[in-house]
Chains A and B, each alone.
Chain A
Amino acid sequence: MNRKTKEIFIKYIFFVFALVAIIVLAMIVFSLFREGLPIFRQVSVKDFLFGMEWYPTYDPPDFGIFPLIIGSFIVTIMATLIAVPLGVLAAIYISEIAPRSIKEVLKSVIELLAGLPSVVLGFFGMVVIAPILQNVFDLPTGLNIVNASMILALMAIPTISSISEDALYAVPQEFKEASYALGATKFETIAKVILPAALSGVTTAVMLGMARAIGETMVVLMVAGGAAAIPESIFDSVRPMPASIAAEMGETPYRSLHYHALFATGMVLFFLTLTFNLIADYVSNKFKQTGSATL
């Protein structure tokens, strides 16, 4: 083999390796469809997605995942409401205000928070937050929407904060200087120049944070309470989709209807997070930051 063909050969080998992410994604879709689709021979798509009853082990069983979808959405939205202000404001502090030494410390804090295993956070929610909630609000159980949302927010904060910070940091220096030259204070510059210029990056950060929260499993499995019903208050228990899959998969017989229903739930979850990720990707590409900054 002469040198040139060898080089081309090597290039194509690496090309195949570059495809590995897409191949894995395809394998995931394949296995979800293969094991999930059979449920729709028994249950219509409409009854599955919008059915109000999730009693997979009853006779006859009910496979309506609407309460699970609602459970997933409610904890995700509440977690986002907590995590976005905290994450974005902290990002502004880190990127624009903090002195160098504090900045380094805070960045490490965010990274370590991102590194905490979800099962540890779930455990913390069970043994610390749950009893507090139960006593303070006089509830039958502290394992509920509020608890799960708080812990999920902790998991979403690192994603939101670090990506927002990158976006803020990427705003060109000239923008700030122009604003100062016009007599704006530092805060006015942040609020009216830097933040708007970094908005697409911050939006991406929020979308990815939400994707993280909706797909998170151990936290909702351990602290959301597990009641498969539409909640009436934020102190009710819910059973988000990942919790249902993780809790029930161990006990269901192979290739039973219940087994297929759990895979179909996984399909719904997969496509939801995929949507969030594609929106994030679209936003970060379509609305590239103005000026010389790129994300």
Chain B
Amino acid sequence: MRDSQVNTMKWRYFQQSLFFALFRAAALIITLALGGIIIYIIINGISAISWEFITKPPTHSMTKGGIMPAILGTIYLTAGAISIGLPLGVASAIYLTEYAKQGRMIRLIRVGINCLAGVPSVVFGLFGLAFFVILFKFGSSILAGSLTLGFLILPTIIGASEEALKAVPQTFREASLALGVSKWQTIYRIVLPNAMPGILTGSILGIGRAAGETAPIMFTAAAFFTSKLPSSIFDEVMALPYHIYVLATAGTNIEETRPIQYGTVLVLVALVLGINMVAILMRAYMRRNKRW
């Protein structure tokens, strides 16, 4: 090779390593940001965590005591959201993957799902307020909050369920239909059981989302402080995300309650990321142990 050619080759490889370093740096920055945030929260929050903190209600106008009512409230709201979002989402996904034929209607439904996924969380809050709290007269309650969150996570669940249903091999359906089994029985007995692990994994992500959202429950379910635990679905509840927001911005002793704030943030992060980790690990496990 002539010298100039060698030089160009060198230059091209130099250029390549330069840009690859840049790509690597971008990935590294994102990883460090996530790692930094999580480590910071753990270091600052761990000292506030104790058995009392998790099992006792707040005292001294929320400057002391625990966060038990907020943890409980978040569990109620999340359970409510999933029991609304999961059946609706799975049923919707079944139509889209098993029954629908390509056409205008399906196109419209898909655009609708994408648009719903993009609706800002605070707009969901307004919707919940106008629709469930005021129009349906549920008041600020677990029910209104759960409905709002349930519709919020609907697109996540539809997406995950569709993917899981599509992953069931076509031959399973054909074998069942060839035996004379009706379409509905095929779906109910063959497709759904095989898709269930995938559906649940995807839905766990929806649970994580519902547990961490603040804006949708601000006007529909969350209470600044309640001295008693909810006795029905028409009661207001405290919730972890809203508790963090309130303590960090609206309290009278923002600096004094910092340890409680850090502790609450740690509990919420552990809860939400724990849920997400379970989903990620479950998916990895399922990929490795594929039965078909």
A and B form one complex: yes
Interchain nearest-CB distance for A227 vs B (Å): 15
Residue A35 at the B interface, CB < 8 A? Answer: yes
Q: Which of A13-57 contact B (CB under 8 A)?
A: 14-15, 17-22, 24-25, 27-28, 31-32, 34-35
A246 x B122 contact (CB < 8 A): yes
A116 x B40 contact (CB < 8 A): no
Q: How would residues 230 to 248 of chain B score, 1 for a CB under 8 Å from any chain A CB and 0 otherwise?
A: 0000000000011011001
B123 x A34 contact (CB < 8 A): no
**How long is the Cα–Cα vector from A122 to B277 in the complex, in angstroms?**
22
**How long is the Cα–Cα vector from A15 to B106 in the complex, in angstroms?**
10
B40 x A123 contact (CB < 8 A): no
Q: How would residues 106 to 147 of chain A score, 1 for a CB under 8 Å from any chain B CB and 0 otherwise?
A: 101111110111111111101110000000000000000000
A222 x B248 contact (CB < 8 A): yes
**How long is the Cα–Cα vector from A217 to B216 in the complex, in angstroms?**
10
**How long is the Cα–Cα vector from A111 to B273 in the complex, in angstroms?**
10
**How long is the Cα–Cα vector from A87 to B29 in the complex, in angstroms?**
10
Q: Which of A234-281 contact B (CB under 8 A)?
A: 242, 245-246, 249-250, 254, 262-263, 266, 269-270, 273-274, 276-278, 280-281
A90 x B261 contact (CB < 8 A): no
Instruction: Please name all residues of chain B whose beta carbon is closer than 8 Å to the beta carbon of A188 when the two chains form the complex.
Output: 12, 16
Closest residue of chain A to B19 (Cβ to Cβ) is A187
Residue A177 at the B interface, CB < 8 A? Answer: no
A215 x B269 contact (CB < 8 A): no
**How long is the Cα–Cα vector from A105 to B118 in the complex, in angstroms?**
27
A25 x B241 contact (CB < 8 A): no
Interchain nearest-CB distance for A295 vs B (Å): 12
B120 x A270 contact (CB < 8 A): yes
**Does more than half of chain B's interface fall in helix, strand or loop, or is it mixed?**
helix
Instruction: Please name all residues of chain A whose beta carbon is closer than 8 Å to the beta carbon of B62 when the two chains form the complex.
Output: none
Closest residue of chain A to B16 (Cβ to Cβ) is A187
Instruction: Please name all residues of chain B whose beta carbon is closer than 8 Å to the beta carbon of A246 when the two chains form the complex.
Output: 122, 125, 215, 218
Given A28-B119, A111-B280, A116–B37 Cβ distance below 8 Å?
yes
Count how many chain B residues have C-beta atoms less than 8 Å from C-beta atoms of the other chain.
Answer: 88
Instruction: Please name all residues of chain A whose beta carbon is closer than 8 Å to the beta carbon of B20 when the two chains form the complex.
Output: 93, 97, 187
Closest residue of chain A to B85 (Cβ to Cβ) is A20
Given A90-B26, A109-B30, A274-B115, A115–B208 Cβ distance below 8 Å?
yes
**How long is the Cα–Cα vector from A31 to B130 in the complex, in angstroms?**
6
Closest residue of chain B to A115 (Cβ to Cβ) is B276
Residues of B in contact with A (beta carbons under 8 Å apart)? 12-13, 15-16, 19-20, 22-27, 29-31, 33-34, 37, 40-41, 88, 91-92, 94-96, 98-100, 108-109, 111-127, 129-131, 134-135, 151, 154-155, 158, 182-184, 205, 208-209, 211-215, 218-219, 241-242, 244-245, 248-249, 258, 261, 265, 268-269, 272-273, 275-277, 280, 284
